[in-house]
Structure 1
């Protein structure tokens, strides 16, 4: 209950204080490339209920695109403004709306696309999906250069499934087992520190 209350207050305050920045980013996206400002994608939420996550669009708008679901290295689909948004994590800010609506939390395991859910071991799946997914978690910090790591792999898709995903799930289980209010605050502060210092 306290976690949800904190999410509501913090996300509402964040949207209010950051509204000028959100507007500037939206205008930059529209000027940089044609297409919508926001990118929506289906993710797996709490208890396995799907929802459509919000992000600022960082790639060229291709409605019928059947490209890969993971981003690898200098992906040619990424726009100029998109590259900046990704490097600063500003593309994640619209997820404050998802937190406000209750689909997400500020801190929690990152929501996965449905395609990779079958790779979750059954017991692990139940535990990780027992909490709301978050904007940030320890895996997001430790794997902030995931795209570069996958770019170095011979088979990025396989590397994600066999190496990155299991590591992320271990972090997610650790979070669920030991989640506390103060732990969430520490993760938020650490995330801000990583973003600022880059």
Structure 2
């Protein structure tokens, strides 16, 4: 920061007396302009990420003279110098709405901008109730077991019909087992109704794609309605999966995806789910870009998990099953 900006930090921030303050998070989320303060060299990176938002940002304006109804976000504030951090503190004292950029965007967008993440985001474990609160973990397990028991009773006739249909249409096993990566990077065998022909991966591991020719006629229907996931009730009862969480992926794909997607393995801090926020929020896709978007929702879910959010995802999943949306 040059001398001119440094003088602005030292003078302007102390002279301003705001009149109209933002008094609620709701008001902060409706502002058309937000002010972002970050280390030098990060300006272009932030501007590129937020360029398609429906609001504007102003980066590192230390000559700001009026904090009336101002939203001020900081990014990597630990790397700012003393005067810059002092500017943010004084802005808070004078009534501006001040918070970390990632947390502000989380709430406003409903997903996490993973390209803005840095290690500090993950090192405050107490901020992740799903990771640090035993009561939350116990409640989630109880919900899993109750949901699995209820699903088992409701889904039994559907499972019997599905098993017969699979057997009639094509040769091969009714159930399909495949190694996936679960909580703490431990591998387990996910169980599904077989939806593809038996030699689907004779040429090696492949991402499933829309209108995949390897999918059988029965398979298309059970994948669209999520019926193929019902045998994962067994995985839930065994404690390998949860009803809701990031979808488990195969190690061969994870090793590739983590090269392009920041902190991709953090999804393994929790149990994988039969359904999840990404599945009910983002359409079917099988590209790196699609994986990035799903990761945005998965990280958001881990950070902001609540029983209410789980119920909301369950209701949206029911809508997917009934109307064949998604996937």
TM over 0.5: yes
Contact 1:128 1:172 survives alignment (8 Å): yes
Residue 132 of structure 1 corresponds to which residue in structure 2? Answer: 271
Q: For 1:81, which of 218, 226, 244 is the aligned residue? A: 218
Ranked by relative contact order (alpha carbons within 8 Å, sequence separation 6 or more), the top structure is 1
Partner of 1:53: helix, strand, or coil? Answer: strand
Distance 2:265 2:220 in 1: 35
User: Where in structure 1 are there 5+ consecutive unaligned residues?
Assistant: 151-159
Bigger fraction of residues in helix: 1
Shift of 1:169: 1.2
Matched, 1:26 2:152: no
Partner of 2:246: helix, strand, or coil? Answer: coil
Partner of 1:110: helix, strand, or coil? Answer: coil
User: Where in structure 2 are there 5+ consecutive unaligned residues?
Assistant: 1-137
CA RMSD of aligned residues (A): 1.9
Matched, 1:191 2:321: no
Contact 1:40 1:54 survives alignment (8 Å): yes
The list of structure 1 runs, each at least 4 consecutive aligned residues, that deviate by more than 6 angstroms after superposition, is: none
Residue 157 of structure 1 corresponds to which residue in structure 2? Answer: none
Shift of 1:124: 2.2
Please, what TM-score do these two structures have when normalized by structure 1? 0.86
Shift of 1:15: 1.0
Contact 2:210 2:284 survives alignment (8 Å): no
Q: How many residues align?
A: 185
Shift of 1:126: 5.0
Please, what TM-score do these two structures have when normalized by structure 2? 0.53
Q: For 2:305, which of 172, 179, 184 is the aligned residue? A: 179
Distance 2:148 2:199 in 1: 30
Partner of 1:2: helix, strand, or coil? Answer: helix
Partner of 1:94: helix, strand, or coil? Answer: helix
Distance 1:167 1:64 in 2: 26
Distance 1:69 1:54 in 2: 18
Shift of 1:174: 0.2
Q: For 1:165, which of 277, 291, 307 is the aligned residue? A: 291
Residue 102 of structure 2 corresponds to which residue in structure 1? Answer: none
